[in-house]
Structure 1
Amino acid sequence: MLSIGVCTDLAAWDEQVVAFGGNPLQLAGWGELKAAHGWRALRLEVRDDAAGTPVVALAQVLVRPLPGMFRALCHVPRGPVMAPGTSIADRSAVCDAIAVYARAQVGGVGITFEPDWPAADPLTITGAVPSPNPIFMAETLILDLALDDDTLLAQMAKKTRYEVRKSQRSEWDITPVTTEADLADVLTLYRTTSERAGFGIHSDGYYRDVHTLLGQHSLLLLARMDGEPVAFLWIVESGTTGIDLYGGSNDAGRKALANYALKWSAIKYLRERGVTRYDLNGLLGDDVSAFKRGFANHTDTLVGSIDVPFSMWYSAWNKALPAAKKVVRRLRG
């Protein structure tokens, strides 16, 4: 029988996530970031009582307060995290236990699981339905950084391989961001990118919190050309897994194809940190996804977004959410 306890020791939580090979979005810093911006983080340890109460899984559950009868929504970003040695079959029971706990302790419209597990692995969660409003994309591209450079290059598209090699002959200055001035340059580049591409971004304070709260797990690279900042790439990692969060460039960076040099530098830096699994974080049909696809001759499909409804208001909330997002985008211009 599985039981659930709450972990309040953030350092101990992160140690477990890293030891279990968990995704960086299950790190305490990600939960603290969300807690500083309208959410609440519950860090759950799932134990097997029959086996002497060892922790068999972890789940950082983010809770979003909702208006009126909707009450709340629970989200498990790229989790749960299973302990080494647990079987694929155990995953369903763990998700069931987490859903039961969240229903009893939080309530609201339901819980969304978005595990970092292959879609081919069987997963059956009691009462589950495919989520109509996924937060993360199921189709992505995950690079195996245990491979050597020649093998990684061989798996790239011809154009990508050419641009990566060309970028190594250029006078790029790519370094991790360590100062407030560098971070300010990154935020300026991101605003420039969002205005050009027409997508919304958070306030500067949100990204400053990412930088602070993810701490040593944050890898923020800034590319300069002739001393001027032209592009950046922001990654978070948790031991063996890294995932892209944000990236951007100005016109000079785009013209010089800075993103190729940044991506190859990121691979080098992540390897130095012990990362072997680098998730480029989602594929759509846009230009950014076309750029990502050039870095490998395969794609990866994860389980996807799975909802477990808790109340009669679940369907109403999911119908209201797209309309609410449109209003917000309109207000942002």
Structure 2
Amino acid sequence: MPAPTALPVVEPVTDRVAWDALVRSLGGHPLQLWGWGEVKATGPWRAHRLQVRSGDRTIGAAQVLVRALPFPFRALSYVPRGPAVAPADPEAPVGYGVGDEATRASVTAAVVAWCRSNVGGVGVSLEPDWPAGTPTTIPGAAPGPEPILCESTLILDLTRTQDELMAAMSRTTRSDVRKGGRDVEVRRVTEEDDVRAVLGVYHETALRAGFALHDDDYYLSVHRELGDDSVLVAAFQDGRPCSFVWDAVSGSTAFELYGGVNDAGRKARANAPVKWHAVRLAQDAGLLRYDMNGLLNDGISEFKRSFADHEDLLVGTIDVPFSPLYRVWVRAIPWGKKALRRLRRG
């Protein structure tokens, strides 16, 4: 099918069920779901859901988060792991929202134009869920110097068999999956009381590793707002959680939000069985990918790397400035976008 020729039209979507159905139909990322926008709205962000249409066909969608900034900067728009773009051929498999070059250009141009006209401020940052090297044409765009989400990650291909996925693990991790956690019960957590108990493990993890957390109400909002799209897997020992991984899921992708382990979980070697259980749940649900959400030079990332014999790189942050103040914002105010990056765990 030829690339769309009609000028794209941007239509706000205000119905939660319709929006989530649209995101799933385009293979969109979990951070584009309505519930994630509601989670972020518990803080300084406001969510706008935009459908991009060409003629009688929807060619893309973007959940735009808007944050008010101090004068004179006014505002920043941000599209986490979006937009989602339809394939040029309506009969083609949806995949995970990458689309073709012409459709990507139409969708991104429409989203940027909406942000410029309706939000303004210093500009918009997009962090698409597209592999590095994906051709992108966005007039005025530049690589973002302060990403919020890490462009280097590890994505498991869930179309592979479980034996193939196991074969790609390190020997130690494969052994832990098979033998570790024998003294624990690994299961999905759905009840709020269990979620609260898991958050106790997260507090222990944060204290040991030295990173900051939101308050518990924030994480409970993740559980409530995402609903069935929140997949929290934990290991329990003597009825108490000792290790967990918390994913958000869409129609194509499972995306790790949080994870942690306490001393009991470390002794039981529960981390690998917990993560593997989450991977299998995603595969059983028919998802295509399991994204471990970022690789850094730390022990957590080394553990993630033990699950595969490869790494993945995404296109990274794409900034489109709307104002000369953009350069001041990203270079002269260190507490600005760097502060947003420190909150990327949320």
TM-score, length basis structure 2: 0.90
Question: 1:165 aligns to what SS in structure 2?
Answer: helix
Gaps of 5+ in 1: none
Q: Which residue of 15, 19, 27 corresponds with 2:25? A: 19
Task: Quickly say closer, same or farther: Cα 1:154–1:321, change in 2 above 3 A.
Answer: farther
Render the CA deviation track for 1:227-270: whole Å, top value 9, x for unaligned: 32211110010022110000111111122221101011111211
Q: Which residue of 76, 79, 99 corresponds with 2:112? A: 99
What is the total number of aligned residue pairs between the two structures?
A: 324
> Is the CA contact (8 Å cut-off) linking 1:93 and 1:125 kept in structure 2?
no
What is the deviation of 1:5? 1.0
> Is the CA contact (8 Å cut-off) linking 1:89 and 1:122 kept in structure 2?
no
| 1:290 partnered with 2:293 | no
- Taking the aligned partners of 1:319 and 1:205, their CA distance within structure 2 comes to 33
Question: 2:160 aligns to what SS in structure 1?
Answer: coil
With 187-196 and 248-257 compared, the bigger mean Cα shift is at 248-257
- Taking the aligned partners of 1:201 and 1:253, their CA distance within structure 2 comes to 20
Render the CA deviation track for 1:70-122: whole Å, top value 9, x for unaligned: 11000000000012434233212321221111011100011001000111211
2:176: which partner in 1?
163
- Taking the aligned partners of 1:88 and 1:164, their CA distance within structure 2 comes to 40
The amino acid across from 1:234 in the alignment is: W
| 1:318 partnered with 2:330 | yes
Question: 1:134 aligns to what SS in structure 2?
Answer: coil
| 1:233 partnered with 2:245 | yes
| 1:175 partnered with 2:187 | yes
- Taking the aligned partners of 1:70 and 1:242, their CA distance within structure 2 comes to 35
Question: 2:67 aligns to what SS in structure 1?
Answer: strand
Which has more helix, going by share of residues?
A: 1
Q: Which residue of 253, 261, 272 corresponds with 1:260? A: 272
- Taking the aligned partners of 1:166 and 1:305, their CA distance within structure 2 comes to 40
What is the deviation of 1:162? 1.9
Q: Which residue of 126, 133, 136 corresponds with 1:120? A: 133
- Taking the aligned partners of 1:323 and 1:113, their CA distance within structure 2 comes to 20
2:67: which partner in 1?
64
- Taking the aligned partners of 2:74 and 2:198, their CA distance within structure 1 comes to 36
Task: Quickly say closer, same or farther: Cα 1:120–1:186, change in 2 above 3 A.
Answer: same
2:101: which partner in 1?
88
1:53: which partner in 2?
56
2:95: which partner in 1?
none
What is the deviation of 1:178? 2.2
What is the deviation of 1:276? 2.1
- Taking the aligned partners of 1:139 and 1:262, their CA distance within structure 2 comes to 23
> Is the CA contact (8 Å cut-off) linking 2:197 and 2:240 kept in structure 1?
no
| 1:279 partnered with 2:279 | no
The amino acid across from 2:150 in the alignment is: M
- Taking the aligned partners of 1:321 and 1:152, their CA distance within structure 2 comes to 44
TM-score, length basis structure 1: 0.93
Pairwise CA RMSD: 1.6
Gaps of 5+ in 2: 1-6, 90-98
What is the deviation of 1:176? 1.7
> Is the CA contact (8 Å cut-off) linking 2:59 and 2:103 kept in structure 1?
no
- Taking the aligned partners of 1:181 and 1:222, their CA distance within structure 2 comes to 13
User: How is 1:292-311 mapped onto 2 (pairs within 5 angstroms)?
Assistant: 292-311=304-323
The amino acid across from 1:251 in the alignment is: D
1:149: which partner in 2?
162
Q: Which residue of 200, 207, 220 corresponds with 1:195? A: 207
Question: 1:47 aligns to what SS in structure 2?
Answer: strand
- Taking the aligned partners of 2:332 and 2:41, their CA distance within structure 1 comes to 23
The list of structure 1 runs, each at least 4 consecutive aligned residues, that deviate by more than 6 angstroms after superposition, is: none
| 1:74 partnered with 2:80 | no
- Taking the aligned partners of 2:244 and 2:167, their CA distance within structure 1 comes to 25
